[in-house]
Amino acid sequence: MPKVLISDSMSPRAAEIFADRGIEVDVITDMDADALAAKIGEYDGLAVRSATKATETIIAAGDNLKVIGRAGIGVDNIDIPAASGRGIVVMNTPFGNSITTAEHAIAMIFSLARSIPEASQSTHAGKWEKSRFMGVELYGKTLGIIGCGNIGAIVADRALGLKMKVAAYDPFLSPERAGVIGVDKVELDELFGRADFISLHTPMTDATKGIIDSAAIAKMKDGVYIINCARGGLIVEEDLKVALDEGKVAGAGMDVFVQEPAKENILFGDERVVATPHLGASTNEAQVNVAIQVAEQMSDYLLTGAVTNALNMPSVSAEDAPKLMPYMKLAEQLGSFAGQVTESALKKVKVEYCGQASDLNTKPLTAVVLQGLLSPLLESVNMVSAPAIAKERNIEITESTCDTLDEFQTIVRLTVTTEKQVRSVAGTLAHGNKPRLIEIKDIAIDAELGADMLYITNEDKPGFIGALGTVLGEAGVNIATFNLGRGEGGGDAIALIETDGPVSEALAAKVRALPHVVRAMPLKF
């Protein structure tokens, strides 16, 4: 009989479902890391919310662990690479608390607009300071939404119901989808200039970390209100505090913080800041929903092998799995590469399978491509949700096959059409079914992707390689592999470089400043 540990407080329905399905379940909460590490070896499954930290150490101690289920969206508390390395499936419940989180953001907007927390406190104290709490109407004001995925779209819908105007920044939001949900699709700087209220609904990535900083705030209207119910770190808290003190920002609604639990914070004690302890998903309805979903998903996997909403494993039949697994990695890498270098709204995605790949069950592979493609800017995308998200955003998805190849036995080619350009990337399997990139933007290359990569497009001119090596060397960044490709001599060229550690944005900026460099982007795989 499988055995599951519930290590965080969640609805009793989760334990009931496990028991009803014939799975032994223990509910032991508030364990420290040492106690959990000593206990986890007894269990096949671990069900958590956000309090339990499923670190590499905990995962290594889970000798029998097969699945970790997160009752909620965010998986920052789970070391997914460590779990993947040990063959442990990581699941979440990406849609169970979307409405609840969106409603909390709307509640923050109302609280800021009418000073409700401060007015309530003052009134309880018998002060009756009616003239002190002059508010602002939401009617006719512009709400700027950064990240218009599932939660952001719900916030937009509620704001439109309040007769607000809504402008949305989301690189993956198509004009057609924007029209359907009734928002203006804008660039980030335009949003900053137009919005009276700004609400963040984007995941925490290298691209979004500190997206609200002093430079961004300087582009905003005087008296803007800022709300963050997404992830701590999207806002540079020190810069926000300065802007509040200077009067540039009229108020802020903060449900998340860089350090959590937040016992101390530079924003605490400022009456212009409405602060809540990460309550975005904290309603009875949401907690019941995510508890039921995670218990059902984990039970299905432990009892039947069925996989739903996994972040590190696709839904693949037992028959197809051995043949597909090498291609799964290749498909994910192709999608992730294209997603990280794409900076405008997606219109079309075409995946072509040639040679041996044409005989495979390609639907799971295409889903994995979409997962990799959408993951850089959308939180908790998996191969189950990715096709639905693509359809929702009016992204046209096509597959094609071809039988014969001249040079390679198998090729998977991904072509991405955006509002601004068409780009392709292709890969194959070589050297014991290891994925390799063989073509970027119609330029031949031969590269194996590592964890940290630097992608450069440049003019094919003398001196580039030497200058690049000097800049990286001076920064203490070691080159692991160096892969070059070019079109016509003296024309367009690309470099794909694996480094022994991440390339910072500051270092990437130095690379971009080199002669002949057109573009330089750090990538992670």
> Distance between CA atoms of 404 and 93, rounded to whole angstroms?
42
Calculate Rg over the CA atoms of the chain: 25
Phi and psi angles of residue 53, each rounded to the nearest 5 degrees, phi first: -105, 105
Domains of the chain plus CATH, in order, are 1-94+281-311 (3.40.50.720), 98-275 (3.40.50.720), 314-440 (3.30.1330.90), 447-525 (3.30.70.260)
pLDDT tens, position by position, for the chain (525 residues)?
999 999 999 999 999 999 999 999 999 999 999 999 999 999 999 999 989 999 999 999 999 999 999 998 888 899 988 887 787 889 999 888 889 999 999 999 999 999 999 999 999 999 999 999 999 999 999 999 999 988 999 999 999 999 999 999 998 888 889 999 999 999 999 999 999 999 999 988 888 999 999 999 999 999 999 999 999 999 999 999 999 999 999 999 999 999 999 999 999 999 999 999 999 988 999 999 999 999 999 998 898 877 888 887 766 655 666 778 789 889 999 999 999 998 888 899 999 999 999 988 888 899 889 989 998 877 667 666 688 788 888 899 999 998 877 788 899 999 999 988 899 999 999 887 889 999 999 899 999 999 999 999 999 889 999 999 999 999 999 999 999 998 877 678 999 999 999 999 999 999 999 999 999 999 998
DSSP one-letter code for 221: P
Residue 466 burial (CB < 10 Å; 0-12/13-18/19+)? exposed
Q: Is 260 an active-site residue?
A: yes
| Residue 478: how many other CB atoms lie within 10 Å | 11
Q: Which of 238, 260, 285, 505 is catalytic?
A: 260
Kindly report the number of other CB atoms within 10 A of residue 151's CB atom. 28
Strand locations in 340-459, DSSP E? 346-355, 396-402, 410-418, 422-430, 434-440, 443-447, 452-459
Catalytic residue selected from 158, 177, 201, 231: 231
What 3-state DSSP class applies to 312? coil
Predicted pLDDT at 319: 62
Query: Can 231 be counted among the known catalytic residues?
Result: yes
Per-residue pLDDT, 408: 87
Dist. CA 458–CA 450, nearest whole Å: 21
CA end-to-end span of the chain: 37
Please give the sequence-ordered ranges of beta strands (E in DSSP) within 99-248, or none if there are none.
142-146, 165-169, 184-185, 197-200, 224-228
Q: Which of 278, 393, 413, 436 is catalytic?
A: 278
Please answer whether residues 309 and 93 qualify as being in contact, where contact means their C-beta atoms are separated by less than 8 angstroms: yes
